[in-house]
Amino acid sequence: MTGFAQGGRMLRFSHTAVGVQQGRAFLFSAFEDNGPMWTGTGARVQHVPVSFPTPFLGLPAVHVGLSMWDISVEANQRVDIAAEEVTATGFTLVFRTWGDTRVARVRADWLAIGPTDHVDDFAVD
Q: Read off the pLDDT of residues 2-58 as tens digits, 9 standing for 90 and up.
A: 665 566 777 676 666 889 999 999 988 888 888 888 898 899 999 999 999 999 999
**Count of C-beta atoms within a 10 Å radius of residue 81:** 18
3-state SS class at 37: helix
Confidence (pTM): 0.83
Cα-Cα-Cα-Cα torsion 14, 18, 23, 27, nearest 10 degrees, comes to: 10
pLDDT at position 117 is 81
As a whole number of angstroms, the distance between CA 90 and CA 49 comes to: 8
